[in-house]
Amino acid sequence: MLTVATTASAAKFTDVPETHSLNIEIEYLAKEGIISGYSDGTFKPNAPIAKKHIAKMLVGALELPTTNLKPLPYSDVPTTHAYYKEIAAAYTAGIFGDAENFRPESSISRAFMAKMIAKSFNLKSIAANAVTYKDVPTTNEFYSPIQLVTMNNIARGYVGETVHNETTYTFEPNRLLTRAHFSAFLARAMSLKAGDYTPDTRYTYFFEDYGDGVRTYLELVKNDSAGGNIETTWNVVDAVTSEQYDTIQYTTADGKWSEGIPETDLGTFIDYPFTIGLKYDDLKNGTIQGRQEVIDTKATVTLFGQQFHDVIVVRDTFIGYEETDYGDFEEVGLMTRYIYIAKGYGIIAYERDGTFYQWLSSRELR
C-alpha cells in the first residue's frame, strides 16, 4: 500500500558520523557514485579540496562527456596526468578557463566555488532570497554568482554583528574550501528542486489516519496566490460527519515553503527552493524547536498504486510530550517523524517509528 524508494544506501565513512553537520550531503554524493573516499574507509572531510578532485566530481555530477575534448592550455597538466581527462572535460564544458597553469593540487575559494556552481548548474535568480553580505559589495567580480548560490540555498554566509537592531552577514569569499564543504555545495546543487509543491487547487484531497481510522479531506477555501507567490487556505473536514476539524494554509513565498495553521507558528516551514542537508538544529540549545533535515529531494513514493516522483523527504526530530491521566503533559524524549511532500499535492504522508500514520488516499476534481 505504502512504499518509499530513495537512492541506494552507501557505506558510511568512518570519519563522517551521522552527527556530522554535513553528513547528509557527503553521503548523498557517495550514494550517487560521485565520491568514494580513501581505501582506509575515511573521507578526510577537513582536508583542503584539490582542483583535480573538483574536476572529477563535476564530471560525475554533470555527466560531462570525456571524448572529443579540447586540448588543455595548462603547462602543469600533461596528457599523462592521472586526472587529465576529467580536467579536460571540465575545461571543454567551459567550467575552467584559460590560464598558463591549472595547479591541480591547489584548493579553491568560496567565491570561485560560487562561480563554478552557478555556471555548471545554470542557477536562476530568486530576488526574494537575496542576502546583503558585508564583505561582498556589488562591485565584487563574484557578486552575482555568490548571490545565485545564496538564493538557491546552496551556500549561505555567516551571521555577523548586529548594528542598529539589524543583523549583518559575511560570506568570507576568500576562505579556502575543505572536502566536506565543497561536497556539501555540490550535493545541494545536484538536489535542488523548485516548482509548486502545494496542492493543485482544482482538487479535493482525501486522507486516512492509521491511529483512529478517521478519514478527512482538504477543501479549498481561498486562493490568494499572486505575483509568483502561492497562498492557499483549506478546511480539514471529517469525510463521514462533514464536521470541520481545522483550517490549514499552504504558502510558497519569501524563500519559505510552509504548511500549517494560519497566523500561527504551528506547522512545517522549509527553506525554498529545496536542497538536502541540515536546516536547523535547536536541540543543541535545549529548546523545543527541534532539528530539521531534508534528506532527499528525489524520492519515489507509492500510495495505493499511484507513484509520486521527486518527493521531498523531511526528517523532523523534536522533544515529544504525552498527555497524562491528570491532563498534564510530560516529556517522553526525542521523537522523529518523516514528512513526504509531492509536487502538485503538498504533504502526501507522515511517518513515525517506521509506521505511516497519515497518508493521501485519493483526490477528486472539484
If pLDDT is split at 50, 70 and 90, which confidence band does 221 have?
very high
* Residue 19 forms part of a structural domain: no
pLDDT for the residue 326: 72
Q: Are 241 and 331 within one domain?
A: yes
Single residue among 160, 177, 194 that ends a domain in this structure: 177
Question: What mean pLDDT, rounded, does the chain reach?
Answer: 92
Q: Are 168 and 240 within one domain?
A: no
Q: Are 113 and 231 within one domain?
A: no
Q: Are 138 and 233 within one domain?
A: no
Which stretch of 217-231, 243-257, 271-285, 322-336 has the lowest confidence by average pLDDT? 322-336
Structurally, the chain folds into a number of domains equal to 2
**What are the distances in angstroms from CA 120 to CA 98, 114, 140, 164, 177?**
17, 10, 20, 39, 18
Q: Positive or negative CA dihedral for 207, 316, 332, 289?
A: negative
Query: What's the rounded mean pLDDT across residues 24-33?
Result: 96
Q: Are 284 and 339 within one domain?
A: yes
C-alpha cell at 259: 504548511
How much is the CA Rg of the chain, to the nearest whole Å?
Answer: 23
pLDDT for the residue 8: 46
- How remote is the C-alpha of 19 from its chain's centroid? 17
* Residue 121 forms part of a structural domain: yes
Q: Are 167 and 219 within one domain?
A: no
If pLDDT is split at 50, 70 and 90, which confidence band does 354 have?
confident
pLDDT greater than 80 at residue 321: no
pLDDT greater than 90 at residue 282: no
Query: What's the rounded mean pLDDT across residues 236-244?
Result: 93
Q: Are 130 and 215 within one domain?
A: no
Q: Are 147 and 262 within one domain?
A: no
pLDDT tens track for 161-184: 777 788 899 999 999 999 999 999
* Residue 31 forms part of a structural domain: no
pLDDT for the residue 6: 63
Q: Are 138 and 246 within one domain?
A: no
Q: Are 128 and 221 within one domain?
A: no
* Residue 242 forms part of a structural domain: yes
* Residue 354 forms part of a structural domain: yes
Q: Are 127 and 260 within one domain?
A: no
> CA nearest 235: which of 198, 212, 204?
204
What's the domain range around 346?
A: 203-365
* Residue 57 forms part of a structural domain: no
> pTM of the predicted model, to two decimals?
0.92
pLDDT for the residue 185: 98
Query: What's the rounded mean pLDDT across residues 229-252?
Result: 95
Q: Are 223 and 359 within one domain?
A: yes
* Residue 293 forms part of a structural domain: yes
Single residue among 123, 142, 177 that ends a domain in this structure: 177
